[in-house]
Structure 1
Amino acid sequence: MFKIGEFSKLTQVSIRMLRYYDETGLLKPAKTDKFTNYRLYSAEQIDVLNKIVFLRDLGFNVAEIAAAMKHWDDGFITDRLENKRLEIEGEIKAAQDKLFKIELAKRDIRQQRIATHYNVSIKSIPSCQVLSLRRIVCDYYAEGELWEEMSAFADKNGIPISNSTFTIYHDTDYRETDVDIEICAPVSRTEKDMCGFTYRTIPSLCRLWHVPWCTDLLKTFRAHTLPSQAGCKLTASIK
């Protein structure tokens, strides 16, 4: 049997972590001396501790490690490792998205495109016929992809588009993910609905938040096709 200090040196795991694993139930001492209250570990527990450290280093939390230790077999562990791989890939993707947004923000700051003041007001628009594309996208930054798609669709089909384009956000509140966005471009004539694009009439006297902005942080579509989007952004909840 090994005292906790000896076991720590042997396994190269700190005493603090051994006590933590004891408190969380991941690795209880083999026995506790009833006279000195010293924690005592057995040689057989070295393999158990190695498995705990292995999973910890891969990003498993205490609950996940406990479940893995309880059902340790090749099939179960392989499944848990695959789940962790997918989780880490998602975290990497989220981090890459943040890095991309940081680079966009840095570029806009250098080019003095980011406005320091935003004037929010209510604006009405008259009833109009629009070419609409509505989709649930991953986040607000994905709106630019919708405008690129509409730009390509309009060019391909020879559809003239007014420069008074706007965006409708159908969610009742701000969302981190799964944003319900509809982009609208007024048109002078209607065609057959196709490829997810719809012609519809926006009712008159719709009250819209009108937020002037000077950054192209969210927009990457072609300005010559949809020029108004570089200067303003309209949001509303029109059902």
Structure 2
Amino acid sequence: MNIGEFARLAGVSVRMLRHYDQLGLLRPHRVDPHTGYRSYTAAQLDRANHLVALKDLGFGLDRVAELLEADASGGDRVVALLRERRDELRAQIAVDRGRLARVEARLSTITKEHEMTTTPTYTETSLPALRLVQSSAHVADMGAIEAEMGLMFGRVNEAVAAAGATRTGPGVAHYTEEDEGLRAAAAEQVDEPVAGLESADLPAVGRALATTYDAADLSGIAGAWQSLVTEVERRGLTPRGTCREVYHATPYEPGGTRWVVDLQQPVG
């Protein structure tokens, strides 16, 4: 094939192919002695792919030449480098997605744009005592709560399923102030102990203010909590003790599409 066709297939410019030829990185299969036209074969696309990949990874051309020769001698260093870079990028994308979600959640909280099916209502109520099995952790970075809770609920549900334990109610998250942070717990309502999990009892609460969060995702739940506590203060009350989230519906359940979560703040 001529140089233009090869350049198109390799995803590089004709100018760069001529440059690689001059450097000895990718020689044409044949150069017409009369016209000087370069021609290439499909078999050379593999070397072109390796060369372009190494350039994309940021290697200088001297180092590219060394790595190409090493792979030509039976090595697989380019593949290993690409897999390493792929894993780094996947990890970075995950981090960036988390940051984006937190920015969007904060923006929604500030602009009051989080999607709810109804206008929030607040109800004074009492809270029942709960017997739980749970996984808990100290959380100093409030931005890490959602990710940490997801991991803990995964561990709890795996342990409950492995033990064949019977749930007596919906899943519960609860939060208690602790050492300049929170003790956050992901829990299931189970009466008997479960291996690998903490057993815990939440005492009954005589007075609390509660609201229901109903949305397609959890991006607005921080704003819902802020609105709830604002309402607590508006009523002349004071937040006290361990607050609870009771998960009546989640997208992870069969046929589930939404989050329906009771937010419960004990007050005095």
Shorter-chain TM-score: what band? 0.3 to 0.5
Bigger RCO of structures 1 and 2 (CA < 8 A, at least 6 apart)? 1
TM-score by length of 2: 0.38
